[in-house]
C-alpha cells in the first residue's frame, strides 16, 4: 500500500508541474493580450486605422497566433491525464485558454474594420484575469500539498 501511495504522489507531482507549465503559457497569453489592448488604446488614429483595416498588421497577426496557441493549450489541458485533485483547476485553465483563443481569433479573423472593432470591444480581460489568478492560486496550493517545492519555467523548458 505504501509503495502505491508513493507512486501516486510522484505521478501527481509530475502532472502538477505539467499543468503549471500550461498555466504559465496561459499567463503569458493574458499579458500579451493586455499589452496589445493597451497599445491599441494608446495608439494614434493612423496606427489604430492600420490595425482595423490591415489583417497583416503586427498586432492582428499576434492575435491570430495567440488564438492558435491557446487553442492548442486548451486541447492539451483537456486531454492530459491528471489526478482527481487537479481536475477542477485543469477545467478552469482549459476554459480560460479556450476563451482567450476564441476571443483573440475572433479579432484576428474579422473581415471588416467594424467587425474588428466589435471583437476588440467584446474582450473582457479583467474578468478572465481574475479567474486565472484564482486558478493559479489553487494550483499553487495543490503543488505545495504535493510537496513540489518550486517549479519554474526557464527558456521554454520546465525545471523543478
Q: Identify the three-state secondary structure at position 158.
A: strand
The set of cell numbers assigned to 146 is 504535493
* Cα–Cα distance for residue pair 8/85, rounded to 1 Å: 12
> For domain 2-159, which CATH number applies: 3.40.50, 1.20.120, 3.30.200, 1.10.3470?
1.20.120
For residue 158, pLDDT beyond 80: no
| pLDDT (tens digit per residue) in 38-94 | 998 899 999 999 999 998 899 999 999 999 999 999 999 999 989 899 999 999 999
Angle between helices 2-42 and 58-79 (to 10 degrees): 160
Angle at 76 between CA 75 and CA 79, to 5 degrees: 85
> pLDDT category, 102, cuts 50, 70, 90?
very high
For the chain, the structural domain boundaries read 2-159
Amino acid at each position: 500500500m505504501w509503495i502505491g501511495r508513493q507512486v501516486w504522489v510522484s505521478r501527481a507531482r509530475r502532472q502538477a508541474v505539467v499543468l503549471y507549465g500550461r498555466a504559465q503559457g496561459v499567463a503569458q497569453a493574458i499579458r500579451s493580450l493586455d499589452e496589445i489592448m493597451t497599445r491599441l488604446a494608446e495608439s494614434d488614429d493612423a496606427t489604430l486605422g492600420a490595425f482595423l483595416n490591415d489583417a497583416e498588421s503586427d498586432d492582428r497577426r499576434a492575435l491570430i497566433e495567440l488564438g492558435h496557441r491557446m487553442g492548442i493549450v486548451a486541447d492539451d489541458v483537456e486531454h492530459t491525464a491528471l489526478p482527481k485533485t487537479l481536475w477542477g483547476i485543469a477545467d478552469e485553465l482549459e476554459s480560460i485558454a479556450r476563451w482567450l483563443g476564441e476571443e483573440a481569433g475572433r479579432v484576428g479573423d474579422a473581415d471588416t474594420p467594424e467587425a474588428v472593432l466589435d471583437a476588440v470591444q467584446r474582450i473582457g480581460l479583467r474578468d478572465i484575469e481574475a479567474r486565472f489568478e484564482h486558478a493559479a492560486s489553487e494550483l499553487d496550493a495543490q503543488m505545495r500539498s504535493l510537496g513540489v517545492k518550486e517549479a519554474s519555467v526557464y527558456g521554454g523548458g520546465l525545471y523543478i
